[in-house]
Structure 1
Amino acid sequence: MSKSFAMMKSPTIEPETTNKPPENHASYRIDTQPFVIGDKLNGENYHLWAVLMRKAINGRGMEPHITRVPPPPPRTDPTYAQWLQADNCVFTWIPQNIESRLVSRVSQQPTTRYVWDALAVTYASGGDKIQIYDMHMKASMVKQGNNSLEETWSVLQELWISFDKKRTNPMKYPEDMEIHDQFIQE
């Protein structure tokens, strides 16, 4: 039995041939499927909207289009046309998730990254005293009314999170920043 085992010819493993591009040749995925997150950007919910959009875009493997990490290929690169097509797909997801009155503000941007940055500059700025004043007014007008305690708490908590996002940390040294942040969390 051991002789017949030894006489068996071992199978030769042939390298698998595939149609993969060479290792140094980038490939860009095209995802034309639309998606809609829970809430559309309305100008007041930017921070929540940005978190949900980033997760949805990253979930489809397309986050480099909003982060530019890695950067897009140069226009002279043979893969640029494919990258641009993928970027245009991601670009279309943003208007699907913002109110129609805001679409014209972003539709003229050349790439998804420019749209993403324009929305951040417009709606994420913490120094806008009018936005902070509006949030204070909203917080002072919150009443439980017919809502449950949980619903009222949720509204207030959302406002507090917005306050925290807009308020910059005034501390200079890292240790002081940590102490300040812990104080705010309590």
Structure 2
Amino acid sequence: MEQMIQMFQKLNKLNNQTENPTSVKISEKLIYHNYTKWCKLMHVAIGGRGRLSHITVVPPPPSDPNYVQWEQRDAMVISWIIENIDGEIVNQFLDYTTAQSLWLGFERLLGYGRDELQIFDLSSKAATMKQGNDTIETYYGKLNMLWKDIDRRMPNPMTCSQDITEFNRYIQRQRLYQFLNGIHDNIDKERREILNSVPLPMVEIAYATIKREITRRRIMNGLSSLGTNPSDIGSGLATRNKAFQKSREEDDRSKLRCTHCGGSRHIRKDASRLWDTLSGGTIYRNSGPPPRHRQAGPAARPT
């Protein structure tokens, strides 16, 4: 029983540490040009600790009976945010009294007024990007990074669930066009097949289809994904099979013995097919059954 109590106490202590950590650190500190990425990372970090309402919901009034407790938690959220701001700009954000007002301050100073130009630049790059010398994986990865940057700066503006779905379909269709427009022309057949599909596939599915076709062509053309020529693989297997078959034949003949000459590895009826026989340093062809080999002298000749 005591062990159970101790275990629950440890779990409770661990949960308190998780819900109220003294510090939160993300991979990047806020500077002028990384606001969108930093905002996303910080949003996830705060939400993962159950304090997302402190930056998204209007603070309770001071007359609220739980205001003191809320204020303590809000101060902790502010400290999480402040410690993830670069030292060169942190002084601009020290006068905010709540986490929500601080979050809105970031949005006013670093969000609006800069994003339209960035969205234009990112959209132009995505619309004109070509595969070029890149692999299909690299090309799609670059496009996907641009799309994510655009989404962070220009989220779905719809509020109705049906409108949100229709807007996402529209964006998916535009990105499918961008992806197919940039791939090499030797994939034109597969590109036309995708565009003729009803309904149009998502861009991720189109990418997977194109990637499979390119991989198939590499294999058929002798360029396997492992960098080994498939014909070499086939030749190696054929050579191993021949060697194995020859080894089995030799094992099978090792038990044979000729009743005519007393030799091994053949029988009497095969004697007429024996190849050139070496005798006394001279090679001659024996057209008939070989004679019994004499045991005396190196220059022994057939009788």
Give the structure-1-normalised TM-score: 0.59
For the 8 Å contact 1:42–1:98, the answer to whether it is kept is yes
SS in 2 for 1:76: coil
Q: Which amino acid aligns with 1:185?
A: Q
For the 8 Å contact 1:54–1:63, the answer to whether it is kept is yes
| Residue 38 of structure 2 is aligned to residue 34 of structure 1 | no
Match of 1:24 in 2: none
| Separation in structure 1 between the aligned mates of residue 82 and residue 138 of structure 2, nearest angstrom | 29
Match of 1:113 in 2: 100
| Residue 67 of structure 2 is aligned to residue 97 of structure 1 | no
Change in CA separation of 1:80 and 1:46 when aligned onto 2, cut-off 3 Å: same
| Separation in structure 1 between the aligned mates of residue 87 and residue 72 of structure 2, nearest angstrom | 23
1:131 to 114, 118, 136: 118
Q: Which amino acid aligns with 1:118?
A: G
Change in CA separation of 1:165 and 1:32 when aligned onto 2, cut-off 3 Å: closer
| Residue 2 of structure 2 is aligned to residue 46 of structure 1 | no
| Separation in structure 1 between the aligned mates of residue 171 and residue 54 of structure 2, nearest angstrom | 34
For the 8 Å contact 1:125–1:166, the answer to whether it is kept is no
C-alpha distance after superposition, 1:18-44 (max 9, x if no partner):
xxxxxxxxxxxx835111112223333
Q: Which amino acid aligns with 2:171?
A: I
| Residue 169 of structure 2 is aligned to residue 182 of structure 1 | yes
| Percent of residue pairs bearing the same amino acid type | 36
SS in 2 for 1:83: helix
Match of 2:284 in 1: none
Change in CA separation of 1:114 and 1:134 when aligned onto 2, cut-off 3 Å: same
For the 8 Å contact 1:57–1:63, the answer to whether it is kept is yes
C-alpha distance after superposition, 1:61-109 (max 9, x if no partner):
212211227x42x323453233212111110111222222331232111
Give the structure-2-normalised TM-score: 0.39
Match of 2:193 in 1: none
Match of 1:27 in 2: none
Higher relative contact order structure (alpha carbons within 8 Å, sequence separation ≥ 6): 1
Match of 1:19 in 2: none
For the 8 Å contact 1:126–1:166, the answer to whether it is kept is no
Change in CA separation of 1:98 and 1:175 when aligned onto 2, cut-off 3 Å: same
- What is the Cα deviation at residue 114 of structure 1? 0.5
For the 8 Å contact 1:66–1:112, the answer to whether it is kept is yes
Match of 2:188 in 1: none
| Separation in structure 2 between the aligned mates of residue 100 and residue 42 of structure 1, nearest angstrom | 9
C-alpha distance after superposition, 1:124-147 (max 9, x if no partner):
33874433355468879x9xxxxx
| Separation in structure 1 between the aligned mates of residue 152 and residue 34 of structure 2, nearest angstrom | 11
| Separation in structure 2 between the aligned mates of residue 32 and residue 170 of structure 1, nearest angstrom | 34
Change in CA separation of 1:94 and 1:149 when aligned onto 2, cut-off 3 Å: farther
Structure with the larger helix share: 2
| Residue 75 of structure 2 is aligned to residue 88 of structure 1 | yes
Q: Structure 1 stretches of 5 or more lacking a match?
A: 1-29, 143-147
For the 8 Å contact 1:40–1:99, the answer to whether it is kept is yes
Change in CA separation of 1:163 and 1:60 when aligned onto 2, cut-off 3 Å: closer
- What is the Cα deviation at residue 47 of structure 1? 3.3
For the 8 Å contact 1:62–1:90, the answer to whether it is kept is yes
The aligned length equals 154
Q: Structure 2 stretches of 5 or more lacking a match?
A: 1-18, 130-134, 174-303
| Separation in structure 2 between the aligned mates of residue 54 and residue 167 of structure 1, nearest angstrom | 16
- What is the Cα deviation at residue 59 of structure 1? 1.9
Q: Which amino acid aligns with 2:37?
A: L
Higher mean C-alpha displacement, 105-114 vs 37-46: 37-46
SS in 2 for 1:100: coil
